[in-house]
Structures are given as C-alpha cells and as structure tokens.
Amino acid sequence: MDFKLNTIHSQQGRIAIVTGANNGIGFQTTKAMAAYGFKVVMACRNMAKAEKAKTEILTKVATADLDILQLDLSNLESVRNFAKKFKERYTKLDVLVNNAGILVYSGKKNEVGVELQFATNHLGHFLLTNLLFELMPDNHASRIVALSSLAHKGAKIHFDDLNCEKTDDSDAAYGQSKLANLMFADELDRRLKKSGKKIIALAVHPGGSDSGLFDEMSRIKYYTFKILSPFILNSPANAAKPSLFAVLSKEVRGGEYIGPQGFNEFKGKIGFAKRSDYSKKQDVATKLWKLSEGITGQSFL
C-alpha cells in the first residue's frame, strides 16, 4: 500500500468525531486530522483533560478547529446525551473514529451490571454509531473506523458469560471487547453494502502501543512494558497511522482490517492485518449484533 500522510489534500469543511481524543492514539489522531483541515469533535469523558489536550493541539496546529463534547461510553444515557447535543450543533458527520478504549483487571461493571470493558469499548460505540449514522453523507469518503487490537486473537464472545466471571483468564474480558470491535465493523460494513449504502466501515489495530491502557497492570507487568516499550511498541503518533489510513485512504472499500506489517504486527508499514479465524464467523457477528441491540435497546440497520 502506498500511503503517504504528507500527500493528503485539505479536508476543509468535513466534520469528524474522535472518541477518547484527549490522550494516546486518540490525541494523535485528532491532532493529525485537525492539521488536514477537519473540524474535530473531541468526545471525552474527562472535560479537564480534554481542555488541556485541546490547548496542546492548538499550540502545535494553530489552525485547528476543535470542539469538545462530554461522552462516557460506559453509560448509555451519556451516549444518548452526546448524540443529542451533537445533532443540536451539527447537521452532518463525515467521519466517526471509535477510538476510545479501557483496559481494566478489576472486574468493574457499569451502572447496569455489564463488564466495564465490553460496555465501554463495544456497547458505547455500537450505540453511538447507531445514533449518528443518519447524519453521514452517503459516499465513500464517509468512514466509520473501529479500533480493535492484537488482543482479539485467541478471544471469543462469551455469550453465556458476558462479564467473563467464569474464566480464570484475566485477559478474557479485554480480548472479548476488542474482538467485538472488529466483528462489529465487519458486520456493519456487510449491512451497509446490503442496504446499498456507500459509507465505509472498517477496523484497525495500532500494533503494540503504550497509550495509557496499562495503568491497572500489576507493577511487574507495567514496568516490564515500560522497559521493553522502545523496542517492541509504537509511539502514539505511529500507532495512530492505521486510523489515519482508514480515514483518509482512497484504497479501502470497506470491511478491511488495517495494521502494522512488521514483526508480530507490533510495528512497521501499514497494510492488511491478520485476523483470527473466530473473528471471521458471520453467525457470531450477527448474534453479537442482536445482543448489542438488545442491551442498548436500539435497533440498527
């Protein structure tokens, strides 16, 4: 794939949302998109951190056109409120980057008892996409991008144990949530094509990246990652490149999975990423879609 960020034409007049825009990959994605001319709505849970991030971006991209709206993806009412406020301010949405994600090891749940990673990483984005989809122009430049992860490999959707309470695998819940991101993007693209829409949905993964997700690791794991990170992990700026490719490339047609091509897909040039066999199961993706509609109370496509 021949994709050079310095050859991108101005995106002036286009509106994008980036969830989790105040740090890590989301921050770098927002900064780059603002530099290309997008008006970027920073969808963030912590407003103080969002304001600080906005100020920092403006010091580096003086022309950045940024707006901030509060969004707690773990709370479905917050997602609905965000969508309502967005529609009050804007009449269209060109790009939705479902970037935000959490990694926790403490068995936390949201207010209705759903495991926090599944609620935040998948369900919140499922509902957000559902509520804002109608604002997207029906053309190939309209993009819905889901941020998945290498962690989807080896994971499955625990339909009979959605909170992953019956497993001893501490990584099961996070892996499930990132698998759900990938399968949602695939199923969404299939449904868009079936309905005759030109809007493109696809998934990306950043490779290995220390984007602030590792705070709840054991101290041994945490410091091991910190020591090894310069050798095995992408910088947040490089980790944002798959997302930028998905947003801006004219080569994608929908349904792709994009990520680094280097050793173990941790780093390297951007290209088509490897998926687990499980993630290709359309019957599972359909079942996940119906489950998500049921929990959110919102039908979709």
Alpha-carbon gap, residue 116 to 127, rounded angstroms: 15
Segment holding 57, helix H or strand E: helix 47-60
| Known catalytic residue at 174 | yes
Query: Hey, which bits of the chain come out as E strands?
Result: 15-19, 39-44, 65-70, 95-98, 143-147, 200-204, 257-260, 270-272
Closest-CA residue to 147 (of 286, 21, 53): 21
Alpha-carbon gap, residue 223 to 133, rounded angstroms: 41
What's the Cα-to-Cα distance from 78 to each of 69, 74, 115, 184, rounded to whole Å? 11, 8, 17, 21
Of the residues 36, 90, 174, 223, only one is catalytic, namely 174
Spell out a b/e string for 170-193, using b for 16 or more CB atoms within 10 Å of the CB, else e: eebbbbbbbbbbbbbbbbbbbebb
Report the catalytic residues.
Answer: 174
